[in-house]
Structure 1
Amino acid sequence: MKVISGFTLITKIDALTVFFFVSAVHTETSFRANIELVSEHSRIFSGERARLRCSIPDVHRSNWTYLWFRGSEELSQTGEELNLWNTKVQESGKYYCQGTRNTKVGKIRTQQSVPVELKVDGGWAILQVPRHPQLVGSTLEVTCRVRRNPRLEEIILYKDGVEVMRQNGHKPDFYLTNLSLEDLGVYSCRASWDVRRQTLSVISAGTHVQILEVLSQPILEIIPNYDTQLKRMKLTCHVQYNAPAPAPPIDFYFYKNNRRLGPATSDNYNLVKQTPGLYSCKARVPQLDLSKSSEPKNFGLRGILNLIYPSICFSLISRKLPNELIVGNI
C-alpha cells in the first residue's frame, strides 16, 4: 500500500484488507422503519408516561437492533419499545426510530421512520384532540383534562380565542358534529373548580385541529408530447381522496370543450390527441355521492408551438398567424 499526494493507492489486496473495507461500509436498506405511539395521546402532562414502538417491515424476520432519536439526538435505548417514565417538558419533540443489524457484508440500516411528535405539557390543563385530521361531515370529540383530576364545575371550549361551547364540569368531553372547513382552527379549553370556597380556573394551551375534505377539488396537469409518435399528450387528474379504509372506488372523467373524452376510468390519467382546446377533469365517488371538477385549463396552438419550437419568438409567430389562432396556455 502506497500513499501518493495524499491519496492511498492499494497495490496489494489481501483478505484482511477486503474485510476491513467492506465492514466499514454502512448500507441503507430500501425499506423504512415504522414508528407508532402506543400510549393513547400525543400531548401529556409532565410526570406521565409515554410509550413508542418501532417495527421493521422485514419479511425474513431478522434480528434487529433499534435506534431511537429525538430530533437529531440519538437516545441510549435500543429496544423495540421506547418507554419514557416521569416525563419532563424537555422531552417534548419529534421522535424517530431506525433498525440496524450485522450481516456478512457489514452493518445495514433501515431508512429512518417518519416522525411522531410528543408534547409534554407542564401546565394544569390539556385539550386532547384526535391525532389525525378529521373529515368534513364527521364528529370531532375533544377532552379537557386537568392535572390531578379535580371535580370540575364548568368547562368552556374556545376556537381561535372565541367561546364555542360551555357546559358543567361533570362532562369534560365536547362533541362538534357535522364538521366543515370552517371548523378549522386552534382550540383551547378553560376549566374551573372550587377549593375551600375559592374558585380556581386554568386554561390549556392552544391545539390545532385539522379538517380535510373527503374529496378535494381536482387539479388537471397537461403533459404535451408524451407520445411523439402518436402525437398524444397526457392528462393527469390530481386529487386528494381521504375516505377511511376500505375506501369506495373513485372514477375519473376527462373533458375537452365540455365534451367527455371516453368512458369513466379508475386511472387518474388519459392519453389524448394533442390538439388545442379547453380541458378539464372530474373525480367521482358514486357510493358516497361525491363529485368534484377541476378548473378548466386552456391548451392552445401557441402552447403547442412553443413546446415544439421553443426557440421561435412569439413575436414571429404572431406575425405569421391570425389573431384568432393565437391562444395561450393557462
Structure 2
Amino acid sequence: TDPPKPTVTLQPSRTQIYSGETVTVRCEIQGGERAQWTYEWRRGQKNIHETSSEYRISRLTESHGGGYSCRATRSSSWTEWSDSTTLRVTVPSKPTVTLQPPWPQIYSGETVTVRCEIQGGEGAQWTYEWRPAKLNTPPTYSEYRITVTESDSGGYSCRGKRSFSRTEWSDALTVVSKPKAELRADRTAVPVGGSVTLTCSVSPSSSSSSSSSSGWKYYWYRDGKSYEALTNGQISVSEGGLYSCRGGRGEPVYYTEDSESVRIDTTVSNRPVVTLYPNWSEIYRGETITVRCEIHGGDTEWDYEWETNSTIKPPNQNEYRIRSASSSNSGNYRCKGRMKSSQHNTTEWSDSVTLTVSDNKPRPVLTVSPSWLSPGASVTLNCQVEHPSAGWSFYWYKAVPDLSEKSSSYELLPDGSGTAQDSYIIHGQTHTAGYVCRAGRGDPEYHTDHSQPKFVWSAGQFVSLCPFNELMLGHHFYSPGFRPLKCHLHDNH
C-alpha cells in the first residue's frame, strides 16, 4: 500500500503568531516511525534546506510567514506532499493610550485611569511597559489609575511584550498644565428689560469634541458667591454684578483655575447729556471752556466716566474745565454715570458732543461809515468777527500816532470798553482820524488781535493822498497835519 499522506502541524498551534516569537514546525506521518523517514520541506513553491521531521524557528519575522508543506521518503518510496499549513506572522500594531473617562486632554493634578490598547492583540498574553517608569504600579498591567503631575509633561506612553516580541511605543498622551477657565460676555451692560449671555469655556476646546465629551461642569460665581452650576457653559443674566466661572470634572472633582472676572452693569433709564459751557461751535487756542456731564432725574449721586477720541483724556468727574485749550482737546466727548450707592447700576452713554479748537487767532474786520464826512457829522464804526453770535463783546480805540517811534498806540474811546453791540457811533467828528477795534469773550477773558486801522477823512481839510488810500509812510501812521514829502496837496478831495 502507498505510505500515508503527511500532515504539517505548528507548535504553538495558533496560525497567527507575533514577530519575535518562536514556533516549531512538524511533519507527522500517521502510524509511521519518524526515524525511518527522510523529510523534504517547502514554503509555498520554494524548497527549504531542512531534512528532519521538525524544526524550530526562533524570533519569527514576517519573511517566515507562508504555507508550509512536507513529504517523506523511505526505501526510495515518496509520500505525497502534505496539505499546506499557513503560518501567519503578525507584527503587533502600535498601541494606543486611552483615558477613562475618554477626555480629549488631561491636566496636571487630575486623577484618571490610563489604558494601553493593542489593536488586534486581543486574546494574546501581553505584559506591558509604561513610561515614565516611576509609576508606583507593576509594569505588567494594561491599565491603572494615576494622578498626573506637570513634571510628566512629556506625557504617558506604553508598549506590549510577549516572549521576544515587542510592540512600538505608543504615542504619548500629553499632560497640560492646570487650565484656566475663560469667561466671555456678549455685552457688558444689561439693557433695560433685557439680559446678557455669559459663556464659560476651558481650553483647548476642540471643535470636534463637545464640552460634554470633555466632562466639564461649569461653576458660576457672582460678587464672589456661588451662583449656579451647569453642564452647559452658557447662562443668561439680567442683574448686574462681578461674574466669574471655573470648570470641574472627575471624581474626586478636579477644578480649573478661576476665570478673569467680568463686570456686568445694569442700565438705568436716566440718560446723561454732555454740554459745553460756553456753548460755542468753535473756540480758539488759549480760551477756557468747560465740558459738563449732566444726569437728570432724582437726587442720586453719581460717579462719572468719559470717553473721547481727543489726545487728552478728561478725569472721571462731572465736569472737565479746560483752562487753556489747544487742538489736543479737539474731539468727540460722551459720558455715562455709575450710581455711588450701587456700583453695578449705570446709565447709557450720552450722545457725543464735538469740541473744535482752532489754533488760529481771529482778527476782526473794522468798517467805517461814512469814510468822508462833513464837519460835525456822526461816524458809525462796525466790528465784525468770525461766529458773531458766540458771546463777543467789543473794544473801540482811536489810533494815536507816536512820531518818535513811527508807530501808533491805541487810545480807548469813551465808553468803548466791552460793549455788547458790534457798532459804535462817534458824534461831531471834525478831524481826520484812524480807528481800530477788537473783541473779547469768556472768563477769564480771551481777546482777539486788533483789527487793521480804518480812517475817516474830514472833507474840510487838506489831506495828503499818498500811494495808499491811508495816511501812512513805511507802514507807520501819521496825523493829518503831518506832511510827507513828495505827496501832493489837494483841496477837499
Q: TM-score, normalised by structure 1?
A: 0.37
| Structure possessing the higher relative contact order (Cα contacts under 8 Å, 6 or more residues apart) | 1
The structure with the largest helix share of the pair is 1
The structure with the largest alpha-carbon Rg is 2
